[in-house]
Amino acid sequence: MPHTPLTSEEIREGRHKLRRKRRIAFLFVAPLLLFIFIAFIAPIGTMLYRSFYHPIVSQLIPQTIEKLSHWDETGSNRPPTDTVRTFTFELVGLAKERRSGKLAEEVNRFRPGTSSLIKSTARKLKRMQPAILEKKGNILSGIDPQWDEIQLWRAIKKSGVIVTDTFYLTALDLTRGASGEIQGRETKVYIKLYLKSLKIALYITLLTALIGFPLSYYLATAPTRIANILLVFVLLPFWTSLLVRTTAWIALLQTNGVVNSTLEFLHLIDQPIEMLYTQFSTIIAMTHILLPFMVLPLYSVMKGIDPSYLRAALSLGAKPLPAFIRIYLPMTTPGLAAGALLVFIISIGYYITPALVGGTEGQMISNIIAFHMQSSNNWELAAALGSLLLFLILVIYWIYDRMVGVSNIKFG
Amino acid sequence: MKGFPKYYTLPQKLGLHGLRLSAWLALAFLMIPILVIIPLSFNAEPYFTFTEGMLALDPDAYSLKWYAQILADDKWILAIKNSFYIGILATLIATVLGTTAAVGLSNPVMPLQRIIMAILLSPMIVPLIITAAGMFFFYSQLNMAGSYLGVIIAHAALGTPFVIITVNAALAGFDYSLVRASMGLGARPLYTFIKVVMPLIRPGVISGALFAFITSFDEVVLILFLAGPEQRTIPRQMFSGLREQINPTILAVATLLIISSSLMLFTMEYLRARGERIRSGQL
Pick the residue of B52, B113, B138 with the most A CBs within 10 A to test the interface with A by mutation.
B138
Identify whether the C-beta of residue A47 lies closer than 8 Å to the C-beta of residue B137: yes
The residues facing A309 across adjacent strands are none
CATH code: domain of residue B89: 1.10.3720.10
A381-409 tens-digit pLDDT: 999 999 999 999 999 888 887 877 666 65
Over residues A178-203, the mean pLDDT reads 88
What percent of chain B is predicted at pLDDT more than 90? 51
State mean pLDDT over B153-168: 94
Asked if residue A224 is part of any domain, the answer here is yes
Assign B1 a pLDDT band (cuts: 50, 70, 90): very low
Query: Contact, A328 vs A304, CB < 8 A?
Result: no
Q: Is A57 within 8 Å of A110 (Cβ atoms)?
A: no
The span from the CA of A247 to the CA of B242, in Å, is: 7
Residue type, A366: S
Spatial contact of B83 and B155, defined as CB atoms under 8 Å apart: no
Domain assignment present for B233: yes
Residue B283 has pLDDT above 60, yes or no: no
Task: Indicate yes or no: CB of A29 within 8 angstroms of CB of B104.
Answer: yes
| Angstroms from B81 CA to nearest CA on chain A | 17
Dist. CA A190–CA A170, nearest whole Å: 8
pLDDT greater than 90 at residue B59: no
Q: Please check whether residues A196 and A325 belong to one and the same domain.
A: yes
Mean pLDDT, residues B215-220: 94
ipTM for the complex shown: 0.89
Look at chain B and count its residues: 283
Query: A219-260 pLDDT, tens per residue?
Result: 998 898 898 889 999 999 999 999 999 999 998 998 888 888
In a shared domain, residues A265 and A365: yes
- % of chain A with per-residue pLDDT over 70: 97
B/e letters for B90-112, b = 16+ CB within 10 Å, e = fewer, are bbbbbbbbbbbbbbbbbbebbee
Encode pLDDT of A51-62 as tens digits.
999 888 888 899
Q: Is the pLDDT of residue A412 over 50?
A: no
Count of the separate structural domains present in chain B: 1
Find the residue in A nearest to B20 (Cα): A218
> Which tens digits make up the pLDDT trace of B27-56?
999 999 999 999 989 988 887 778 777 877
Question: Would you state the pLDDT for residue A228?
Answer: 87
Last residue of a domain, one of A160, A175, A200: A160
B27 within a domain of the structure (yes/no): no
* pLDDT, position A244: 94
User: Looking at the predicted structure, is the pLDDT value of residue B198 above 60?
Assistant: yes
Tell me, yes or no, whether B120 lies in a domain: yes
Domain boundary among A121, A143, A160: A160
Specify whether A361 is located in the same domain as A245: yes
Domains held by chain A: number: 3
Domain assignment of residue A345, yes or no: yes
Based on the domain organization, do A75 and A21 belong to the same domain? no
> From the CA of B283, how many Å to the nearest CA of chain A?
22
> Both A31 and A61 in a single domain?
no
pLDDT at residue B224, as a whole number: 94
B residues 98-117 lying closer than 8 A (beta carbon) to A:
98, 100-101, 103-105, 107, 109-111, 116
Q: With an 8 Å Cβ cutoff, are A242 and B220 in contact?
A: yes
CB B133 within 8 A of CB A47: yes
* Domain coverage including residue A355: 190-408
Instruction: Give tens-digit pLDDT for A296-306.
Output: 999 989 988 88
**pLDDT band for position B190 (cuts 50, 70, 90):** confident
What does the alpha-carbon distance between residue A350 and residue A362 come to, in Å, rounded to a whole number? 11
pLDDT in tens, A370-382: 999 998 888 999 9
- Measured in angstroms, the CA of A207 and the nearest CA of chain B are apart by 11
Please answer yes or no on whether B242 and A233 come within 8 Å at the CB atom.
no
Out of B26, B141, B214, the one facing A211 most closely (by C-beta) is B26
B213 within domain boundaries: yes
Task: Please check whether residue B241 lies inside any domain of the structure.
Answer: yes
Give the confidence band of A279 by pLDDT, cuts at 50, 70, 90. Answer: very high
Query: Hey, which of A1-5, A59-63, B223-227 has the most confident mean pLDDT?
Result: B223-227
pLDDT at A330 over 80: yes
Q: How distant is the Cα of B37 from the closest Cα of chain A, in angstroms?
A: 6
pLDDT of B222: 96
Domain with B130 in it: 75-246
- Is A324 inside any structural domain? yes
In a domain, A326, yes or no: yes
For residue A200, tell me if it sits in a domain: yes
Calculate how close chain A gets to B133, using CA atoms only, in Å.
Answer: 7
Record: contact B22-A215, CB cut-off 8 A: yes
In SS3 terms, chain A reads as CCCCCCCHHHHHHHHHHHHHHHHHHHHHHHHHHHHHHHHHHHHHHHHHHHCCECCHHHHHCHHHHHHHCCCCCCCCCCCCHHHHHHHHHHHHHHHHCCCHHHHHHHHHHHCCCHHHHHHHHHHHHHHCCHHHHHCCCCCHHHHCHHHHCHHHHHHHHHHCCCECCHHHHHHCCEEECCCCCEEECCCCCHHHHHHHHHHHHHHHHHHHHHHHHHHHHHHHHCCHHHHHHHHHHHHHHHHCCHHHHHHHHHHHHCCCCHHHHHHHHCCCCCCCCCCCCCHHHHHHHHHHHHHHHHHHHHHHHHHCCCCHHHHHHHHCCCCHHHHHHHHHHHHHHHHHHHHHHHHHHHHHCCCHHHHHHCCCCCCCHHHHHHHHHHCCCCHHHHHHHHHHHHHHHHHHHHHHHHHCCHHHCCCC
Q: Report chain B residues whose CB lies below 8 A from the CB of A262.
A: none
Residue B1 lies in a domain: no
By CA distance, what is A342's nearest residue in B?
A: B125
Pick the more confident residue, A139 or A289.
A289
Of the listed ranges A407-411, B86-90, B187-191, the least confidently predicted one is: A407-411
Say if CB A343 and CB A204 are below 8 A apart. yes
Residue B51 lies in a domain: no
Size of chain A in residues: 412
> What CATH number did the domain enclosing A267 receive?
1.10.3720.10
Highest-confidence segment of A16-20, A138-142, B94-98: B94-98
Domain membership of residue B281 (yes or no) is no
